[in-house]
Amino acid sequence: MRRVIRWVDADGRVAIGVELEERGRFRRVTGTEDPLDVLPDPGAAADGAVVEAGELHALPNGLRLLAPLDAPEVWCSGVTYERSRDARMEESASRDVYADVYAAPRPELFLKDAAGRRTVGPGAPIAIRSDSDWNVPEPEIGLVLGPRGAILGYTIGNDVSSRAIEGANPLYLAQAKVYAAACAIGPAVYVPAGTPEAFAITMRITGEDGDVVYEDTTSTAKMVRSFEELASWLVRDNPIAPGTVLLTGTGLVPPDEVSLQPGQTVEIRVPEIGTLSNPVVLASTLV
């Protein structure tokens, strides 16, 4: 089992690191800056100097973590947990839409980003819409996909969303989901030796003073669909480029009185992958 990360140095040079058997120690890969060259067999690729990365919160010697890959597209799955179904039914006047898709053979899938225009990595700001008064993070497991939807590895994703806009009308889904810095992925791609049984996901929102605004944990064992099922639907009659990331839905929904605010920080931790941490800003400040 290995993790693959990417970083940039003070001179702007990008490098890939592959985790050694000692967790938190990454060996630099030479000869490529494309993680897709590494993911099929990470252990065979590592051949450079060792970087001590610990829990991936900070790298030494002026190195800065990047998103583990530049995903050509990021897609999302919706209503894959009972908690997500209930929350979206509560926020929407069109309740049957969400109840029906939760139980239907065909899942909800939508395009979150293309060419990385709206996706950031660890430590970079995520954004909330300035025309919405109810905005939430959505912590999810992201599947890194190869040819024909094969799962190459797993990362963490944050599908930042406006519950107010989506709840007003399901046809506003794109506006609720697709805008500047509305998505974050990282800090690593996890490549297990076999198919993982389940991932525990913990999310914490903290204020500028460090006080915890919200914290909770869920497990992908509660999903109504499998990772393989979602990937197979995505590639059905739909061409995707290798390195595409498919987020698999959220099982953590903060209470209605919690809405993201500028100055807060969202941390999503999955033990096998690491912690994805991002400060919150207004999207209007980024465009």
Could you tell me the residue range of the domain that residue 261 belongs to?
Answer: 73-285
**96 and 198 belong to one structural domain:** yes
Encode the chain (287 residues) as per-residue pLDDT tens digits: 799 999 999 899 999 999 988 888 999 998 899 999 999 988 787 677 888 887 776 788 789 999 999 999 999 999 999 877 777 667 665 667 888 888 899 999 999 999 999 999 999 999 999 999 999 999 999 999 999 999 999 999 999 999 999 999 989 999 999 999 999 999 999 999 888 999 999 999 999 999 999 999 999 999 999 999 999 999 999 999 999 999 999 999 999 999 999 999 999 999 999 999 999 999 999 99
Last residue of a domain, one of 38, 65, 92: 65
Q: According to the model, what pLDDT value does residue 130 have?
A: 96
Query: pTM surpassing 0.75?
Result: yes
**139 and 59 belong to one structural domain:** no
**83 and 55 belong to one structural domain:** no
Q: According to the model, what pLDDT value does residue 86 have?
A: 76
Q: According to the model, what pLDDT value does residue 44 have?
A: 80
**52 and 143 belong to one structural domain:** no
Question: What is the C-alpha separation between 240 and 215, in angstroms, rounded?
Answer: 35
Look at the chain and report how many structural domains it folds into.
Answer: 2
**28 and 85 belong to one structural domain:** no
**243 and 148 belong to one structural domain:** yes
**127 and 155 belong to one structural domain:** yes
**119 and 176 belong to one structural domain:** yes
Last residue of a domain, one of 49, 65, 81: 65
Burial of 20 (C-beta count, 10 Å sphere; 0-12/13-18/19+)? middle
The Cβ-side half-sphere exposure at 100, using a 13 Å CA radius, reads: 4
- CATH number (domain holding residue 105): 3.90.850.10
**20 and 86 belong to one structural domain:** no
**18 and 132 belong to one structural domain:** no
What are the beta bridge partners of residue 153? Answer: 144
Question: What is the C-alpha separation between 281 and 283, in angstroms, rounded?
Answer: 6
Contacting residues for 101 by C-beta, under 8 A, at least 6 apart = 78, 79, 107, 108
**49 and 88 belong to one structural domain:** no
**155 and 183 belong to one structural domain:** yes
SS3 120: strand
Q: According to the model, what pLDDT value does residue 88 have?
A: 66
